[in-house]
Amino acid sequence: MSTMFEQMAKSPAVWLSGEGNESLVVLSTRVRLARNVAGCKFPSSANIDTRKRIISYIDSTVARSTMLADGMYLKASDINSLDKDFLIERHLISPSFLNGELAKSLYINNDERISIMVNEEDHLRIQSLAPGLDPEGAFQLAKQFDNEIGKYLEYSYDADFGFLTACPTNAGTGMRTSVLIHLPGLVLTREIEKVISHITRTGLVVRGFYGEGSDVLGNLFQISNQNTLGITEEEIINQIKKITYEIIEKEAASRDRLMNEAADMIEDKIWRAYGILKHARVLSSEEVMNLLSAVRLGHAMKIIQFLDTSLINEILLFSQPAHLQKYYSHEMDPNRRDFVRAQMVREKLREVEQK
């Protein structure tokens, strides 16, 4: 089994620390900047020599930059299937990044707040992650790395259209901002579809746990902007924050309604979920995510007071299939993973109860 990312697999991701604004509802914020090198075709239309030339430009940039020295730089061909899944689970790469031709590379800084995909849909996808609701902080960090790379490479930029991108919907700022938000109250009161419809009408988009094309798991939704052209970075940030605070208010109202109308049933659902996690001998990753959703709700509503958000997030991440295998340093078939996952969850909960 590959030992790549072994140390990373033993520690929770910084963006899931449980810190930051509104962390009881918003798990994390992501800002992604799409950039392309001037004079080179976009990856989808470029030949292999052009894509390799882009890699060589980034090789040189990483070697010369003191800022980029604080991180890990990898060629896609050195990343195996399990490591790919691990990076997807950690939200450091897109699910499609390592598909197809592997004239690609990846940069991850030491605290995992920044990852840069080279030759994905665009030459560069600079991604910043922050715990809680913090689009300003995530953008400022992404912009630092954007500016640093811009010292060594000329970006494809037009005075009228801004940053030019492979997909026209990303042109302009080239910026996508998203929040990962937990909305069990709206799901249980069956108001979620109405809220999603409202979000969509404002020009934002709602996706699943792993972003575009993924399913909603554990009542976790990604909300992001669609428009990047004719709008500034500050306006994108303000739009995301405004809508997120509106959703937080609606979620709070749904939780109040649940407690007013069905308190016993909600408390039973929460404690039942905790009891299964604490005692189960076999658990799938999807089951853990759904049970943790109820436990996270119980923690936020002060029904379960001895857990903290960081532990809930840690179990969420470590129970994912690739993380579980990296954590225990050996590959497992699905049946074995379900057994070991339940064991890991019991151990994590036992540790906190013994404190």
pLDDT tens track for 8-59: 888 888 899 888 999 999 999 999 999 999 999 999 899 999 999 999 999 9
pLDDT at position 226 is: 87
Number of H helices, E strands in the chain: 11, 10
Q: Which of 298, 299, 219, 291 is nearest to 263 (CA)?
A: 298
Residue 212: band (very low, low, confident or very high) from pLDDT cuts 50, 70, 90: low
Task: Measure Cα distances from 134 to 106, 160, 276, 317 in Å.
Answer: 24, 29, 33, 20
Say if 28 falls within a structural domain: no
Say if 346 falls within a structural domain: yes
Say if 67 falls within a structural domain: no
Q: What is the mean pLDDT of residues 277-306?
A: 96
Q: What is the mean pLDDT of the chain?
A: 93
pLDDT above 90 for 169: no
pLDDT above 60 for 170: yes
Say if 233 falls within a structural domain: no
Say if 112 falls within a structural domain: no
pLDDT at position 355 is: 64
Q: What is the mean pLDDT of residues 258-284?
A: 97
| Structural domain of 306 | 262-353
Say if 304 falls within a structural domain: yes
Strand duo 220-225 + 204-207: pairing: antiparallel
Lowest mean pLDDT among 16-25, 124-133, 278-287: 16-25
Measured CA to CA, the distance from residue 266 to residue 280 in angstroms comes to 21
Measured CA to CA, the distance from residue 148 to residue 34 in angstroms comes to 15
Q: What is the mean pLDDT of residues 319-346?
A: 96
Return the higher-pLDDT residue of 355 and 96. Answer: 96
Residue 334: band (very low, low, confident or very high) from pLDDT cuts 50, 70, 90: very high
Residue pLDDT, tens place only, 175-190 = 999 999 999 999 999 9
Measured CA to CA, the distance from residue 324 to residue 300 in angstroms comes to 26
Say if 198 falls within a structural domain: no
pLDDT at position 1 is: 45
Residue pLDDT, tens place only, 67-121 = 999 899 999 989 999 999 999 999 999 988 988 777 999 999 999 999 999 999 9
What total of structural domains would you count in the chain? 1
Q: What is the mean pLDDT of residues 296-305?
A: 95
pLDDT at position 3 is: 60
Measured CA to CA, the distance from residue 295 to residue 315 in angstroms comes to 11
pLDDT at position 129 is: 97
Task: Measure Cα distances from 143 to 62, 106, 215 in Å.
Answer: 16, 18, 30
Contact 181, 131 (CB under 8 A): no
Contacts of 120 (CB under 8 A, 6+ apart): 43, 94, 96, 97, 104
Say if 314 falls within a structural domain: yes
User: Residue 78 carries which side chain, given as an amino acid letter?
Assistant: D
Q: Which of 158, 166, 134, 163 is nearest to 146 (CA)?
A: 163
pLDDT above 80 for 210: no
User: What token pair was written down for 119?
Assistant: 């030759």
